[in-house]
Structure 1
Amino acid sequence: MRIFILLAITAFTISFSSSAQLPQASFKELKKMEDSMKLHSRNMIWDADASRRFNADSIFIRSLVRSLRVPHSFHYPFDSLITVSKLYPADSSFRIFSWQFNKDDNYFRQRGAIQMRTADGSLKLFPLLDMSEFTNKPEDSVRSARNWIGAIYYGIVMKTHNNKNYYTLLGFDDNNLRSTKKWVEVLTFNDKGEPVFGGPYFNVPAQYEKEALAKERFVLEYKKDGRARMNYDSEMDLIIFDHLISETNENDKKYTFIPDGDYQGFKWNNGKWEYVDKVFDFKLKDGEAPMPAPLKDDKGNSNEQWLMQQSETNQQKGKTKPVQQPAKKAPPKKEVNRRSQDIEEY
């Protein structure tokens, strides 16, 4: 299940400093608590019975909050919780936990929490409550932690403008039986230090406004097995995503959308993400040679191997060594959930 392979990778994209910041007593306590949480973290995703998944999810949430109350828990990586995404921005000022609960193949909701780094090691936590089912236009609103548009976050990009930090989140949502969504939104913190999701951070040409390409947040919705990619490339400094078309010429039905082999993107400029219509023309000017390591070969086919290598390279940049833990075995193949098989990013 690619989503959990991805979560296992993101567990190592950690930018807090050294294990010396975590007292040995806290480490031992957290290790013991993590060991007891592993089973619930797996059952809430992979158990075949919905009621048992719900029960495991409830137990896991309570256990996670108790563990985060341990002094200096921010510096403990929870590496063995492979079904839970744990992301840190470049300044390591907070981390985001996110994961998914599904009642059935047509009902998916996300869980999450933001843990702030504190000087004294005490807990400052913002639970994220997924309220996406109560809006028809999730891309049109600025949100708080209490009415969050849920996603499993697999990428975070920190940008600075006018001495303020902006954290762009890339997220995945299984959505429903017919379609999958990937999200891009900007996270900021208000004067009270509270998280704010979304805002006027996307610039798109006037001709695309009718298509609702982006407003307070950007969504890429596509056919369940469409395997559309969306990720940030640090070399190009672009958010790159597949251009989608309806395979049945029904543009009002997002569940018919599939990639057509072209790529679009967003480039950060003056505090906003500006739309780039043709990614492969973006850096080319008169007299310039083509970009090295192109995303497509001479025949126009996507260079999948380079894309995966580049994504893995980007994830490794800037990491520092977390608290050392024994290597964990991947879950057995029989536990794979086919519903998230298109999480292969980029």
Structure 2
Amino acid sequence: MRRLFLVMILGCTLCSSFSAARISQDEISLKGLFGRLYKAPSDSVRSILNDSICHQLNTTLHNDSSFQYAFDSLAYLGKIYSTDHQLRIYSWNYISDAGDYRFFSYFQFATKKLIQLVQKRPCYLPDEDKATTANNWYGALYYNAIPINHGNQIQYILLGWSHLSESENFKIIDVLSLKDSTIEFGAPIFNTESRYRIAMPYSSSHSLALQYDAKRSLFIFNHLHEESNKNNKIPDESFSGYQLVNNKLIYKEEVTFDHKEESPPRTKVEYGLEPNK
């Protein structure tokens, strides 16, 4: 019996070592593909390289070791965990010859469920009053995911950044729900009208803060006002927010900071083809 137990332990160790070696090789391959993607001379070459990235990632992320693997060398691949460490989101983008942004993402759950998102139309500002299916994804880079309870299901509040045009970006507070074999964006958890998400377009020449203060259970963002002689909105130095109370988001017109606190940084998204605001 002891010999059988030792054989089983040795077998598990060898499998784990092989899995780690395999994923390390996959990372090297992906690093090369991303490097070529951002140096590609045309849309046709980018499309081929991006398809190769998707194919490689789909294989790599089905490796049992991938959920905890750092992928530190993949500078152009966004990798975040939800605050409960049960969801990992991978995001990236590239820019077409026409200047359009193309976004791609994988949602990997600790349960081993893996869902791929592909932007199938140009970036657009999603409606705030209805849910959006994965097949109609607006395209974004996500940089935070906070779990909330919805009955016996976990939803995630997502913070993201996207690009609308040369003159306009937007940030978003969205809600992720797992629906059988796919995901859905948006849910009526806001106390302001019948909103399913909050989308905030703003001038691409400015930076907009949108952060989550875990100590206060508060989502904080800059006020926006119309830019002089332009249609774009720009952020000012005052703040509003949404307070997370019993898994609902309650709007706060004014968010203040005492002398010991600092206003939230206008953090740039740390990955993608160029520094995103």
Q: In 2, Cα distance between the equivalents of 1:154 and 1:136?
A: 18
CA pair 187-136 structure 1, distance change in 2 beyond 3 A = closer
| Paired residue type of 1:274 | I
**Structure 1 partner of 2:144:** 155
Unaligned runs of 5+ in 2: 1-12
1:232 pairs with 192, 207, 212, which one?
212
Q: In 2, Cα distance between the equivalents of 1:275 and 1:132?
A: 31
Note the C-alpha offset of 1:137: 4.5
CA pair 48-267 structure 1, distance change in 2 beyond 3 A = farther
State the TM-score, normalized to the length of structure 1: 0.67
**Structure 2 partner of 1:294:** 261
Q: Does 1:246 align with 2:226?
A: yes
| Paired residue type of 2:261 | P
- Conserved? CA contact 1:45–1:83, under 8 Å: no
Q: Does 1:68 align with 2:82?
A: no
**Structure 2 partner of 1:197:** 185
- Conserved? CA contact 1:225–1:342, under 8 Å: no
CA pair 225-47 structure 1, distance change in 2 beyond 3 A = farther
| Paired residue type of 2:80 | L
Note the C-alpha offset of 1:109: 2.3
**Structure 2 partner of 1:38:** 31
- Conserved? CA contact 1:57–1:101, under 8 Å: no
2:250 pairs with 258, 271, 274, which one?
274
Aligned length: 263
| Paired residue type of 1:84 | L
**Structure 1 partner of 2:197:** 217
Aligned-CA RMSD value = 3.0
Note the C-alpha offset of 1:293: 2.2
CA pair 200-125 structure 1, distance change in 2 beyond 3 A = same
Q: In 1, Cα distance between the equivalents of 2:76 and 2:275?
A: 14
Unaligned runs of 5+ in 1: 1-19, 281-289, 296-302, 312-329
SS of residue paired to 1:90: coil
| Paired residue type of 2:24 | K
Note the C-alpha offset of 1:162: 4.5
**Structure 1 partner of 2:46:** 53
Instruction: Give the structure, 1 or 2, with the largest relative contact order (CA under 8 Å, sep 6 or more).
Output: 1
| Paired residue type of 2:213 | D
Note the C-alpha offset of 1:131: 4.3
Note the C-alpha offset of 1:66: 1.7
Note the C-alpha offset of 1:342: 4.7
Render the CA deviation track for 1:107-144: whole Å, top value 9, x for unaligned.
Answer: 112111112223xxxx5321113245497753333123
Q: In 2, Cα distance between the equivalents of 1:241 and 1:176?
A: 21
**Structure 2 partner of 1:263:** 239
| Paired residue type of 1:277 | E
SS of residue paired to 2:74: coil
SS of residue paired to 1:23: helix
Equivalence map 1:108-127=2 (5 Å): 108-118=101-111, 124-127=113-116
- Conserved? CA contact 1:202–1:272, under 8 Å: yes
| Paired residue type of 1:217 | R
- Conserved? CA contact 2:20–2:65, under 8 Å: no
SS of residue paired to 1:140: coil
CA pair 175-136 structure 1, distance change in 2 beyond 3 A = closer
